[in-house]
A and B are shown apart, each in its own frame.
Chain A
Amino acid sequence: MITKRIIACLDVHDGRVVKGVQFVDLIDAGDPATQAARHAREGADEIVLLDITATHEGRQTLLDTVRRTARELFVPFCVGGGIRSAKDAAQVFEAGADKVSVNSAALAHPTLIDAIGRSFGAQAVVVAIDARRDPEAADPVRDAQVFVQGGRKPAGRRVVEWAREAEARGAGEILLTSMNCDGTRTGFDCELTAAVSESVSIPVIASGGAGTVGHFVDVFGRGKADAALAASIFHFGVSSARSLKEELAKAGVSVRLPC
Chain B
Amino acid sequence: MRVTVIDYKAGNLTSVLKALRHLGAEAVVTDGDLAPIEAAERLVLPGVGHFAATERLESTGLTPAIRAAIARGVPFLGICVGMQWLYAGSSEAPAQPGLAHFAESCARFSESSEKVPHVGWNSLEIRPNSRLLAGVEPGEYVYFTHSYKAPVTADTAATTFYIEPFAAAVERANVMGVQFHPEKSGATGLKILRNFLSWQAKGTE
Contact = CB atoms under 8 A, between A and B. Distances in A.
Interface string A70-92: 11101111000000000000000
Given A2-B162, A93-B12, A256-B121, A201 B48 contact: no
A11 interface: no
Nearest to A45: B121
Given A5-B120, A203-B115, A259 B12 contact: no
Interface stretch (A23-31, A104-112, A116-124, A211-219): A116-124
Given A75-B184, A96-B18, A1 B123 contact: yes
Nearest to B183: A74
Contacts, number: 92
A202 interface: yes
A165 interface: no
A44 B90 CA distance: 33
A173 B119 CA distance: 9
A69 B181 CA distance: 19
A137 B118 CA distance: 35
B120 A74 contact: no
Contacts of B185: 74-75
Contacts of A173: 119
A74 B122 contact: no
B141 interface: yes
Residue among B12, B19, B117, B185 with the highest chain A CB neighbour number at 10 A: B12
A123 B145 CA distance: 7
Contacts of A121: 10-11, 48-50
Candidate in B19, B119, B185 with the most chain A CB atoms within 10 angstroms:
B119
B120 A203 contact: yes
Contacts of B118: 2
B98 to A, nearest CB: 18
A14 interface: no
Interface in B4-43: 10-12, 14-15, 18-19, 22
B189 interface: yes
Interface of A: 1-5, 40, 45, 70-72, 74-77, 93-96, 98, 120-124, 172-173, 201-203, 226-227, 256, 259
Given A121-B49, A123-B145, A172-B145, 5 more contacts: A5-B121, A74-B186, A120-B12, A123-B146, A202-B119
24 contacts: A1-B123, A2-B118, A3-B120, A4-B120, A5-B121, A74-B185, A75-B184, A75-B186, A76-B143, A76-B184, A121-B10, A121-B11, A121-B48, A122-B117, A123-B48, A123-B49, A123-B119, A123-B145, A124-B12, A172-B145, A202-B115, A202-B117, A226-B119, A259-B141
